[in-house]
Structure 1
């Protein structure tokens, strides 16, 4: 089996190889977080429409009970991560750099963690593929690698486009993070079974599990779990960032290149994260919705870095208190250091896509001053998408965002490789994010303008039509009046009696 992938061991020419900082956190035994007194369940934990609350303040709920239902074609339901009482339906700070609030359901735990009555599927591999997708959708399963796209929608797309290969993403290329590593080490059977269930749901014939070669324990555990299933192949890949990005992993494992304007499913491949597969296993085999996950807690400010299995909605401050702090964090990040979300404070709940919480000390958080571009081309060599970051940045500096788009700015995956290798410490990703936002704003303004123009044209056409109809109606009434007058002024015809009298 290794022979198939020997040519990958040479390593790709794109990307970067930062210090991974994964140990000792990755090697520390998985810890179970004690039931929090309260959880805060955001209604927006996924791509698409926010979930709609279906519980009331004061209502008793069980663990796993539906508390907010999906809205729209792309959405996901939310379930209680503890048993207890609904205290409030209000606002909490969003896990976003803006620190703006968003709606959440607050539940006070009763400490019992009483589960709802679950309905496992006895023989899921004999069930209709649509049943696997339905149960994953009802369980609120979304992409746990960070994208948080509703999995059931992805299953339907894969089934419709007749995907032949499932790629299970165990790359976890972001430095500091090891939650996927731990789930493969501690629950490899769940991951493999979940992959087989996803294969059944989408009609795939094989599953390629891509794991970076800096995770030997995970590779060994997954190989042992997959041994009875030849259709599930464990494929070590070079540890190089951003190997965990879908397009890069697809190209590495299959040789297929996904066009910039296409989805992976259109080239016969679908990608799901290892933690997502484990959640599909729990949703189908156990009937349990997605209410908890493994979260990496790492960084120089943390006393005992490691991975914690915690209920969704747990406050980050409580997780940091659980592992302890050596010093006040100089910087907090939700996710990894390359593509994660900077946080303004720790009074924020973890959500489905929270793979890790990083608490950096002053040395890790230090950012050198930006210097001038020396046009060394390092950013171009590192870009995994084959873009020209220095050319895009030059246009953006002058406010010419459309010219930056001419260099395929929209293909940028914001991985941060270009900024990482830049000797002048230019924050290139910030440039590109700013430009994308400006282009999106301009596009929205354009669409609003076009919509306004269409409405104005429709109104003018309606007024013209109404005026024409009024004129036609007035002309008809005038013609009718004139006809009536003409009829009234004409001499009446003589009756037969009058005609006889006249002749006598």
Structure 2
């Protein structure tokens, strides 16, 4: 059960704050860089601006190689709420869009826009919201998004998402602690630009309507504490609070615990306990975006370490190569046995693989330690099980066990020891007498586990797509079968209800057959087979022969009759009379004609039969 609002306000008034477990007190080395004002740096020859510089998704490029761009001009855009655009930090020509070494511990490359500067620093058209209180809150949130602002304390979470919370906010916490050694960027920013930070806080108050605003500053920054108190003295619900110097008091969860005694759940967010937190650098960028209309194109970077002859804080353009800043601070490589540049502080930073790495939105420090100033990774020795790491852990974890299982790649067991609750503050590595880079092992393990989860999610999605497709095809098949079944039942029902249906169907089939037969008959008429023609010819020849034979027989009969008439009269009683002979001749002539007709009929029948056979063969 965390403290309620009234108890928190009482504690703040009496300056009797809470504490968090563990923590360490490393030497600060702040005075190396915080004694001089923030300096400007000359323009580099080229800017290397990574497309993605925040937690979330990539944006889409809207420029091409050869385009001329001005300072503040957007280079990307996206409709995703988890993306923010990047902008050209100065004017020049886009000469390349390719992979370039990234500001990451892995040293891998990522898509980068390379701009060759023209030295003019021409500015793109700005659109400030001077009287932002007259605008809709959604317009203000959109302006913050389009300005490309993400958390500048190191996390890089898109600011517009945090500023669009629908949950009630009790405490708006402004983080000016900057607890890590060497880094003094926020310290100098608060000293020199307290009023603009206050303007950014005012914008957030307008959007979130919190009950109380708490500006937290470590007690080792008295000048920053004073300037912020003066800037906020006119606001009754703004309270500047000094907190004890202890690392990592600037961690989000630790600072909330110090100020309110509320503990953020393991998988929760600060809003779950009624709090929201912003870095002072983020507030400065919000004021720039809303009051001035300027997108995020530069930030304060601490250049420090005993290998630099002129350590200081500078305004660095986003995309400036580290080599250009080191040259400005007069980097002396002779102070190191081998070149070593750390981006970030000694506790949470990482060693760069190349000095061509560009400054990004989360870059707050470049540390160049001299020989012996910081321990080397090569000095790692075996763990002696002293438990000093567990005593220093501000999250009350067991770093020793997490180290063993992470190194052995037994990731499931490492997760059981709450590996992902580790904030990677480096307190465990700082106190380790064996100088084991514990955070290094944790980061590798987290990366491997995250990659395995991504692959598993991809496999699960592919499986779901496959099963969904099979289910869809099966449903479509069943739907077709059901449709056919219903159609068949409808036809059967129609046949039962209509008594003449069968007759109609039979008549339709008969008409179809008749039509088909007529089509075949037409085809047979147009093309007569050769065999049929031969049979017809034979029949005609046979008929002609039959007629000729009948004609010859008739002629012979007539000749015989004439001879008989001319011969002497016989007294034979059996002799035929002329009438009898004529009848006989007529009878024979009729019989011959009949035979001829029969022969012709047979011939025609044969021809017809042959034709019918041919038609049948064609049909088959």
1:490 and 1:144, CA in 2 relative to 1: closer, same or farther beyond 3 A?
Answer: closer
SS class of match (1:79): coil
> Is the counterpart of residue 114 in structure 1 residue 132 in structure 2?
no
SS class of match (1:156): coil
Of 146-155 and 21-30, more deviation after overlay is shown by 21-30
> Is the counterpart of residue 386 in structure 1 residue 396 in structure 2?
yes
Does the 8 Å contact 2:19/2:257 carry over to 1? no
Q: Rg bigger for which structure?
A: 2
1:231 and 1:441, CA in 2 relative to 1: closer, same or farther beyond 3 A?
Answer: same
SS class of match (1:78): coil
Residues 342-421 of structure 1: pairs in structure 2 closer than 5 A: 342-367=351-376, 369-421=379-431
- Post-superposition CA distance 1:340-360 (Å, at most 9, x none): 232101012111111111122
Of 340-349 and 55-64, more deviation after overlay is shown by 55-64
Distance 1:400 1:243 in 2: 31
> Is the counterpart of residue 243 in structure 1 residue 278 in structure 2?
no
Does the 8 Å contact 2:306/2:369 carry over to 1? yes
SS class of match (2:56): coil
Distance 1:482 1:488 in 2: 15
Residues 260-409 of structure 1: pairs in structure 2 closer than 5 A: 260-328=266-334, 330-367=339-376, 369-409=379-419
What's the offset of the Cα at 1:476? 8.1
Distance 1:416 1:410 in 2: 14
- Post-superposition CA distance 1:175-195 (Å, at most 9, x none): 111111110011111111211
1:427 to 412, 425, 437: 437
1:177 and 1:478, CA in 2 relative to 1: closer, same or farther beyond 3 A?
Answer: same
2:27 to 19, 35, 41: 19
1:71 and 1:358, CA in 2 relative to 1: closer, same or farther beyond 3 A?
Answer: farther
What's the offset of the Cα at 1:85? 2.4
Of 475-484 and 455-464, more deviation after overlay is shown by 475-484
What's the offset of the Cα at 1:489? 12
Does the 8 Å contact 1:192/1:232 carry over to 2? no
Alignment partner, residue 177 of structure 2: 171
Distance 1:479 1:266 in 2: 62
Deviating above 6 A after TM superposition, structure 1's stretches of 4 or more consecutive aligned residues are 470-484, 488-492
- Post-superposition CA distance 1:467-490 (Å, at most 9, x none): 656766787899999999x95899
> Is the counterpart of residue 130 in structure 1 residue 138 in structure 2?
yes
What's the offset of the Cα at 1:462? 4.4
> Is the counterpart of residue 146 in structure 1 residue 154 in structure 2?
yes
- Post-superposition CA distance 1:231-278 (Å, at most 9, x none): 221111111111111111111112211111211112111100001000
Of 130-139 and 119-128, more deviation after overlay is shown by 119-128
Alignment partner, residue 77 of structure 1: 85
Alignment partner, residue 58 of structure 1: 66
> Is the counterpart of residue 7 in structure 1 residue 16 in structure 2?
yes
What's the offset of the Cα at 1:448? 3.2
Distance 1:81 1:142 in 2: 16
SS class of match (1:169): strand
Does the 8 Å contact 1:95/1:343 carry over to 2? yes
1:481 and 1:206, CA in 2 relative to 1: closer, same or farther beyond 3 A?
Answer: closer
Alignment partner, residue 253 of structure 1: 259
- Post-superposition CA distance 1:424-478 (Å, at most 9, x none): 2232222322332333233234323433433343344345446656766787899
1:224 and 1:487, CA in 2 relative to 1: closer, same or farther beyond 3 A?
Answer: same
SS class of match (1:183): helix
- Post-superposition CA distance 1:206-228 (Å, at most 9, x none): 21111111111111111121122
1:466 and 1:488, CA in 2 relative to 1: closer, same or farther beyond 3 A?
Answer: farther
Distance 1:470 1:310 in 2: 67
Alignment partner, residue 195 of structure 2: 189
- Post-superposition CA distance 1:18-62 (Å, at most 9, x none): 111221211122211122232222211112122322223333322
TM-score in terms of structure 1 length: 0.89
What's the offset of the Cα at 1:146? 1.0
Distance 2:249 2:53 in 1: 25
Q: Which has the higher contact order (CA 8 A, sep 6+)?
A: 1
Does the 8 Å contact 2:401/2:414 carry over to 1? yes
1:94 and 1:487, CA in 2 relative to 1: closer, same or farther beyond 3 A?
Answer: same
Distance 2:481 2:63 in 1: 58
Does the 8 Å contact 2:21/2:396 carry over to 1? no
Alignment partner, residue 453 of structure 1: 463
Does the 8 Å contact 1:148/1:352 carry over to 2? yes
SS class of match (1:56): coil
1:201 and 1:423, CA in 2 relative to 1: closer, same or farther beyond 3 A?
Answer: same
Segments of 5+ residues of structure 1 without an aligned counterpart are: 493-504
Segments of 5+ residues of structure 2 without an aligned counterpart are: 1-9, 496-500, 508-620
Of 415-424 and 300-309, more deviation after overlay is shown by 415-424
What is the count of residue pairs matched by the alignment?
Answer: 488
> Is the counterpart of residue 31 in structure 1 residue 63 in structure 2?
no
1:57 and 1:398, CA in 2 relative to 1: closer, same or farther beyond 3 A?
Answer: closer
Of 32-41 and 378-387, more deviation after overlay is shown by 32-41
1:61 and 1:171, CA in 2 relative to 1: closer, same or farther beyond 3 A?
Answer: same
Alignment partner, residue 559 of structure 2: none
Distance 1:314 1:293 in 2: 11
1:286 and 1:467, CA in 2 relative to 1: closer, same or farther beyond 3 A?
Answer: closer
